[in-house]
Homo-oligomer: A and B are copies of this chain.
Amino acid sequence: MRRTFEPRPSQEAFDWADRWPLPQGTEQIPLAEAAGRVLAQDLAAPVDIPREPRSARDGYALRAAETLGAGDYNPLPLRLSPAALPLERGRAAWVADGDPLPPGADAVLTMEQGEARGGVLEVGAALACGDGVVGAGEECAAGGPLLRAGRRLRPQDLARLALAGMTEVPVRRRPRARIILAGHFDADADGPLLAALVRRDGGQVTEVLAVSDETALIGVLQQPHADLILVAGGTGHGPQDAAVGALERCGSLHLDGVAIHPGGGIVLGQSASRPVILLPGAPLACLCAYDLVAARALRRMSGRPGHLPYRRRVLTLGRKIASSIGRLEVARLKITGDTAQPIATADGRTLATAVQADGFLLIPEQSEGYPPGSRVEPYLYDDYD
């Protein structure tokens, strides 16, 4: 009942996590729901955006050539006309920011640059053609690239597509994660934990199943309709621990144990060409192993940067922090002002430490820790969005 256990350097786990592609499959979704999704194909502008020249300010549309020589001490008069009509020579028309220019106009005077009185505008500045104007096609010319395939859509990208008249957009399918609870204890805790983490990282949870028997596990590891499989628990060395055996029988093991702590019991492999990650069942170890390895894989599969989702901050260590050479340590910290204090725990076994902590420091494999007063840059648990 005992496997050879030789934890592998964390970099091997990270390299493995980085190699999984975005899932195949495209769906057409409403533009308003597409933020954060990955564009499935190149999109081109069907028409010039904007279609016609627009004013870029509230002001007076006019012919730039007719402002030649105008200045504070040499105001030139233009008669005001309605903007709806083509602009005759010697005239100007009030336009609001975003209004199409009246035909004939080629520049827009700001309100500060002119004074309107009784139907006459006194022009107090000389303009160049195009001043205060967004030209036809200036946002994007007809046929030009709107956005490229593979782009993770930003809010402003949705606005760009809306300007092009689009109301739906083709995006890559979100990676689907199957969550399997194979442990005998704390499975109730790992379910909501992993579901929240998967959603944070851009995945969709297809199901959360409690399965601990080896034959049943082989079944759910082989089922289609998932791009990533997370198994929590059942990875230990006891007679009831069936997850590793199940994975070996229906797929392959890549790494059995990684030099991280907590969470070193993580096992990486694949089944039906999909990544399978076996996580420790103890919630703290499950969280740490997920964050370091599974989050990295899933975030890349959803088109995000693969790094940890937490923001970092440079702080001073208030007390010494020790770590064992040979493993990457997730050291939980309390932060007060600019000082970080390690949370004292015998062996970092309670989830409470990750609840009380404001963040964590990653202590590299080759380090024994840091003396008090060290400048460190921990990750902040509350600052991940």
List residues of A whose CB falls within 8 A of some B CB.
2, 31-32, 34-36, 54, 56, 58, 94-100, 111, 130, 134, 138-140, 147, 152, 154-163, 183-186, 188-193, 195-197, 199-200, 233, 236-241, 265, 280-284, 286-287, 304-305, 309, 311, 346-347, 349-352, 354-355, 381-385
Across the interface, which residues of B come within 8 angstroms of A281, CB to CB?
97-98
CA of A193 to CA of B156, assembled, Å: 6
Tell me which of A155, A193, A355 has the highest count of chain B C-beta atoms within 10 A of its own C-beta. Answer: A155
Cβ-neighbour of A56 out of B31, B54, B349 (below 8 A) = B349
- 23 A-B pairs (CB sep. < 8 Å): A32-B195, A35-B196, A56-B349, A58-B238, A96-B240, A97-B280, A98-B184, A98-B186, A98-B282, A100-B185, A111-B237, A154-B381, A154-B382, A155-B196, A156-B284, A159-B190, A159-B351, A161-B192, A162-B189, A162-B191, A163-B186, A305-B382, A384-B385
CA of A94 to CA of B238, assembled, Å: 8
A95's nearest neighbour on chain B, judged by CB, is B238
| Least Cβ–Cβ distance between A378 and chain B, in angstroms | 15
Q: Say whether A282 contacts B32, CB under 8 Å.
A: no
A288's nearest neighbour on chain B, judged by CB, is B156
Across the interface, which residues of B come within 8 angstroms of A36, CB to CB?
385
Q: Say whether B196 contacts A32, CB under 8 Å.
A: yes
| Least Cβ–Cβ distance between A296 and chain B, in angstroms | 14
Q: Say whether A236 contacts B158, CB under 8 Å.
A: no
| Least Cβ–Cβ distance between A121 and chain B, in angstroms | 13
Across the interface, which residues of B come within 8 angstroms of A155, CB to CB?
192-193, 196-197, 200, 287
